[in-house]
Structure formats: structure tokens, C-alpha cells
Amino acid sequence: MATIDWLTKVPIAHRGLHDLNRQRWENTLSAFDAAAKAGFAIECDVHLTADGKAIIFHDEKLDRLTGQQGKIDALTAAQAKSLRVGGTNDHVPTLAEALRLIGGRVPIVIELKGIPGRDDGLVKAVADDLSGYDGLAAIMSFDHHLIRDFGKDAPGIPAGLTAEGLRDRELEAHFAMLAHGIDFVSYNVHHLENRFVEFVRRRLGLPVISWTVRSLEDKATSDRYVDQITFEGFDPGAA
């Protein structure tokens, strides 16, 4: 099991320290640099490009973030990098670019966005980018088929389950993922508390972070039940 006591030390800026996509957009180098300068850890999302690279982008479709039509996984890394985010000067960055920019200043938590049947090699692409990286980094995913590849394709990298839900069938699916050697859990703040999170923290002693905390009220809920927040849109240090 990977060492991951650093995960809960500081709040984690959701998709970087953006301003809710007014001028500094999510998952951009500007947002990552702002987070690093403020001393916050960084969460980001990655997809697999058509030429097998890890590209930082949340949505499957391009339109919301770039104003273009199409899907992110249909583009090569070079084509994706040519797109501007939100009409700003920020381009869609590769994971390798983001790691160079962050340079180990703060931890990074990378969420892998799976597209079944079109994401073979995503875990390995992320692991390749992280090989030799001197900073603190972890990977996580909602997608169980990707989590099953973590141990094989990204050995030694701290790995987590991103999750939500309160129904028994949802919780049981999460329990099944514990067999794959996960090191932490990231859970929807609006679905706390629940027996899965309680088991992971109290019985297994694994850290749990929450997503996405957007107010001091959300933070109070998160602080009550888990170990750290993934936040956006407010100052988590405000009184």
C-alpha cells in the first residue's frame, strides 16, 4: 500500500484554483499555477487522446470548454493543445505540461475519466507521465474498469476510488473495489455520512477526501465526516 499521509494536509483545489470560469478557467495551467502559489493541492481530470497521451480535460465533449464540436478522445494531443479554453489564452494542457508547471510545489490528485472501449492505455499513459516526477501525486477514478488496471499499469502510485451514492447497491459496488488495493477514497460531500465511508476510515484506516465543497457549510459537513476537502468557488480558510 502506497504512503499517502500527505493527501489530507491541505485543501485540494478542484480542477485547480479557477474563478468559476470567469477569467481563470478550470483545468488550465493558469488555475494550476494559482493553486500552487496559494499553497493548495490540485485536483485535475484526464482523458486519453487519439495518439495515446494523457490530456487534462473534464468533459467528454468539447463544446462547454472550447466552443468546438467533437469529443476530446478523437483528437491527438497536438490538436487538443491547439484549442483555447473559454476564449482565454489558456490552451488545453497535457498532463506532462501540468506536471512541469507544478514542479512538485504542491501535491496533485489526478482523476482518470474513462470512456469504456475507448480508454485502453489511459492508466499507463498517466503512469508514464508520472514516472520520474519528483512531486507528490495520486490517481483516482469513478470507473471501476480503470481501477482494476491501477495495480498492473500504475504500480506504486497512490490510487483511490472516486465515489458517490447512498443506496445499498451503490455502497456494495464501492465495497467491491476495496479488493483492488485502493489507498484512499474521494466521496461526494452531499452523500455523507454513510457506512462505506465509515468502514474505510474506521476499520481500514484509509484517508477519505470529499468533493466538491463549494461553501463553508459544505466544509463543515466534510470536516465532520472525512479528512480533507476538494473545493471550488470560495476561500476554505475564511473564518
pLDDT value for 239: 53
pLDDT value for 3: 73
Q: Is residue 57 part of a domain?
A: no
Q: What is the CATH number of the domain that holds 183?
A: 3.20.20.190
Cα 162 to Cα 45, 108, 143, 189, distances in angstroms: 12, 15, 8, 12
pLDDT value for 137: 98
Domains of the chain: total: 1
Q: Is residue 54 part of a domain?
A: no
CA torsion angle 49 53 59 64 (round to 10): -70
Tens digits of residue pLDDT in 209-219: 999 999 999 99
Q: DSSP state, 14?
A: E
Kindly state the percentage of the chain with pLDDT values over 70.
99
pLDDT value for 207: 98
Helix (H) or strand (E) holding 112: strand 108-112
Question: Does pLDDT of 47 surpass 60?
Answer: yes
Tens digits of residue pLDDT in 156-174: 999 999 999 999 999 999 9
Q: Which of these, 207, 238, 230, lies nearest to 15 by C-alpha position?
A: 230
Q: Is residue 70 part of a domain?
A: no
Tens digits of residue pLDDT in 176-218: 999 999 999 999 999 999 999 999 999 999 999 999 999 999 9
pLDDT value for 81: 98
Residues 86-105, mean pLDDT to the nearest whole number: 98
Q: What is the pTM of this model?
A: 0.97
Tell the residue number behind the cell numbers 494559482, with chain if given.
34
Q: Is residue 147 part of a domain?
A: yes
Pick from 29-43, 81-95, 225-239: least confident: 225-239
Q: Is residue 239 part of a domain?
A: no
The domain in which residue 141 lies consists of 5-42+99-231
Cis geometry, peptide bond prior to residue 193 (ω within 30 degrees of 0): yes
Residues paired with 46 in a beta bridge: 56, 112
Q: Is residue 78 part of a domain?
A: no
Helix (H) or strand (E) holding 212: strand 208-213
Residues 101-128, mean pLDDT to the nearest whole number: 97
Q: Which of these, 96, 126, 102, lies nearest to 114 by C-alpha position?
A: 126
Q: Is residue 37 part of a domain?
A: yes
Q: Is residue 72 part of a domain?
A: no
Residues paired with 148 in a beta bridge: none
Query: What is the SS3 assignment for 117?
Result: coil
- Write b or e for each residue in 8-30: b if 16 or more Cβ atoms lie within 10 A of its Cβ, otherwise e: bebbbbbbbbbeebeebbbbbbb
Arithmetic mean of pLDDT over the chain: 97
